[in-house]
Each structure stands twice: as structure tokens, then as C-alpha cells.
A = this chain, B = another copy of it.
Amino acid sequence: MTQKEASARVRRSPEQVRAAVHQAVVDLLSDPEGEEINIPAIAQRAGVNHTSVYRRWGSLDALLADMVTTRLERDSPLNDTGTLRGDLLAWAEASVASMRTPEGRALVRAVVLSMPNSAHAKAERAQHFQRRMHSIEQIRRRATARGENPPTLEQILDQLIAPFYIRVIFGIDPPAGGYPELLVDRLLGNGSAPCSGSASTANQDRIGWRGPAVP
């Protein structure tokens, strides 16, 4: 035992540390009994010295933001289905699927928590939002390029994104059958489509309405 705990002092690479810390944040955000999240707890869970966390990220907010953007980018394949409706549906279905896991809910919660409130952070907040909405913008752009007429970002925000967030925030499970379809149809039915034809109100609870431009 001359080198008493030399082997105990394992040094992991920066990338390993980063991943471990991110994972610890997600774990703590999903797992625990309402415990509040803080840097020492995160570091301990990650098996990393807390000073490393302080030095690298400086604050819990920065860490949360970093984790969120990393995860969101990693988990957004953003495949092109060929139609606006298909893309929106894929997005919605991925969101619902993610919402059904504790990690997914934790991620959304972290997005909300890491949203800066301060007045001076106006620009930062806008940028944050932009990044969060990146895939949606992409979908809109592609639709426009195809000649489809996508709903405005505002409409998508109100009718597609907002329902997901509100459910995560209040801990309400999404309805069982065809929830993504319901939302997307609602959005497309009154958003971009001209009011001609089937402006019917029949769509209260039913689903299965076909999108206008699906070949």
C-alpha cells in the first residue's frame, strides 16, 4: 500500500465526465422524491468531483442548458417524410413517445426550468426558444419548398407544441388513442387549409381526417 489510493483516483476523460454529469442530471430530474437538484448531488451521482462541475459549467443553469441542447440535438433525427402532415406527425409522435418516459419528461421540465426569467435575458430567451423550435422551422421550410402552405409558427406553437408542454408540466398523461393525429389534424384543418369544403365541426373528438395535400 505504498501508493495508498492511487488507483482510487480514477481520471476520466472530459467527454466521459460530460456524459456522466449529463446522465446524472437526467436521473436526478426524473428519479427522486421531490428532492431539489443541485450541483453537489449531481456530482456525487455522476461519481465526479463537484469542483469539476463548478469549474466546467459554473452554474446549475448553464449545466441544465448544456444538457438540454445536447440531448435535444442528439434526439432529433428530423427525417423528411415527404409531406408536411407526415413531418408534423412524426414530430408529434416522437414527442409523445418521449413524454412517456421519465427521462423525456425530465428533459422538458429542464427546458422550462432553464428558461431564464430575467428581463435582461430577453435575447438569450429568444435564442433559446429559436433553438428549441429549430426542427419545427425546418419542417415549415421544407413544406414551403414543396409548395405546401404550412401553418404559421404561432399556430403550431399554440396547437401542437403547447399541448405537449402543458401536459408534462401538470403531469397529465396524453390521451391514449391517436393523440398526435388529433392534434395535427386539428392544426392542419383550421390552420393552413382554406376554409372551403370540409370546414365541418365534426372533428370534436374524432380522428382520421385526411390531410389536404397527401398524395
- Residues of chain A touching chain B, judged by Cβ–Cβ distance below 8 Å, are 29, 32-35, 61, 109, 112-113, 115-122, 125-126, 129-130, 132, 151-155, 157-159, 161-163, 165-166, 169-172, 175, 183, 186, 189-192, 195, 199-201, 203-207, 209-211, 214
**B-side contacts of A155, CB under 8 Å:** 204
Instruction: Give Cα A163–Cα B121 distance, bound, in whole angstroms.
Output: 22
Q: Are A126 and B209 in touch, CB under 8 angstroms?
A: yes
**B-side contacts of A61, CB under 8 Å:** 34
Instruction: Give Cα A125–Cα B190 distance, bound, in whole angstroms.
Output: 32
What are 14 of the A-B contact pairs (CB < 8 Å)?
A33-B118, A115-B170, A122-B211, A129-B172, A151-B204, A153-B207, A157-B207, A158-B159, A158-B163, A158-B166, A162-B165, A162-B166, A186-B190, A195-B199
